Amino acid sequence: MAENRDSCPVMTFPLAPKIQQELQTKFGSFDKGLLEVGPGRYLLPPHCRLYLDKYAQFRFRPDDVVVMGFPRSGTTWTQEMVWCMTHDLDFTTAINTPLRERSPFLDTLTGFSLPGFLAVNIFKQHPDEDSSTTGAFLARAESLPSPRVIKIHLPFSLLPPSILESCKVIYVARHPGDVCVSYYHLQRLLKSVNFKGDLEEFLDLWCRDLVLRGPYWSHLSEAWAKRTHPNLLWLYYEDMKKDLLRELQCLDHFLATGLTEDELLQVAQHSSFANMKARPATNLSLIPESPGLMPGEAEFVRKGATGDWVNRFTSQMKAKFQAWVETGSKGVGEVPPRYTQG
Ligand code: PPS
């Protein structure tokens, strides 16, 4: 039965008790369960109800740039490049100031509190609230001077319907096999999630669309339907890996930043995988004694490979994954053909 609250016009639905119980067993930090949210039935933690209306009514400015994508699709990488391009190539600030402070992650619902970043609880207004950083990131996004670069993992259906009329949006897509493997590692790394199983168990949940912020295909298809809008730029992680300069030229054109080839090469160099992995400003895992991260897990900026999922899935896992690709991608409208073909 649909559940709703006065403070939140976005519909939320409880999961079936059996599924809820399964998720609570497999994820150490989902003790309050998860909710299905909105018409797309995206899985989010229950305290999202405090923020959904704020996201749906967020006031974007004409010079905002939104970097959007399903988690682990390359949004941090894109954010870093876009922030530098829109901030006069200020690499010194980029190296010395954490990316999350320069470019807020609007919907930080799996809140991790990090030393040095707005470590306040003033947003803990409601007993449901279990993420002291969510409201802080939202407030940060609201108060940041222009030009803002804002990261969002929410799908279009949970954002203001006029977003593309208000500002520019860059959607980053990545092959679901690589996203799944990368997400598995992140869900083990974040204490606020604390996935306790192995990759095979995670893939099982993935293929049943039972992962936080899923379903993947719905997220992708919502954006794909808008890909021809002049204020939307569609990027593929795989293309950025293959020919970054070409993708930076597309970004430069889209953002009208007017950078030379030499300047774009500087952005590429600054944002290389090795450099982003080596800097605490972009690699959360390098923040000493970060209380939000599980020790001993793969780093936040992890491997940066394409197609590596084939080396991580057994043949049985591959068969399950391919079945999910075929059925899952068909039920949601159009999706990028390159992710459904073999
Ligand atoms: S998150 O946590 O949802 O915001 O993740 P997101 O930033 O969208 O994606 C994380 C993956 O991007 C990889 N990454 C990079 N790849 C190439 N080059 C650069 N510079 C780069 N920076 C981050 C990161 O390692 C994650 O992928 P995996 O496969 O786990 O390495």
Q: Which helix (H) or strand (E) holds 169?
A: strand 168-173
Instruction: Indicate whether 8 belongs to any domain.
Output: no
For residue 39, whether the previous peptide bond is cis, meaning omega lies within 30 degrees of 0, is: no
Instruction: With respect to residue 332, please indicate whether it lies within any of the assigned structural domains.
Output: yes
Distance from the alpha carbon of residue 328 to the mean position of ligand 1, in angstroms: 24
Facing residues of 98 across strands?
Answer: none
Q: Is residue 266 part of a domain?
A: yes
* Structure confidence at residue 111 (pLDDT): 52
Specify if 202 maps to a domain. yes
Q: Looking at the DSSP assignment, which residues form a beta bridge with residue 173?
A: 236
Residues facing 195 on adjacent strands: 27
Determine which one of 47, 126, 153, 175 is catalytic.
153
Task: Say what the pLDDT of residue 50 is.
Answer: 84
63, 70 contact by CB (below 8 A):
no
Residue 40 belongs to some domain of the structure: no
Q: Is 107 in the pocket of ligand 1 (CB under 6 A)?
A: no
pLDDT in tens, 82-121: 999 999 999 999 999 999 889 999 998 765 444 444 333 3
pLDDT at res. 342:
60
Tell whether 126 is covered by a domain.
Answer: yes
Indicate whether 74 belongs to any domain: yes
**Which parts of the chain have pLDDT scores under 50?**
1-7, 112-132
State the CATH number of the domain containing residue 83: 3.40.50.300
- The answer to whether residue 153 is catalytic is yes
Distance separating alpha carbons of residues 121 and 287, to the nearest angstrom:
21
pLDDT score, position 333 = 86
Task: Report the number of distinct structural domains present in the chain.
Answer: 1
Residue 300, both tokens? 């936040």
240: domain range?
60-339
**Domain presence at residue 50:** no
Residue type, 156: F
**59 CA distance to ligand 1 middle (Å):** 28
User: Does the beta carbon of 71 lie inside 6 Å of ligand 1?
Assistant: yes
Cα(50)–Cα(215) distance, rounded to whole angstroms? 22
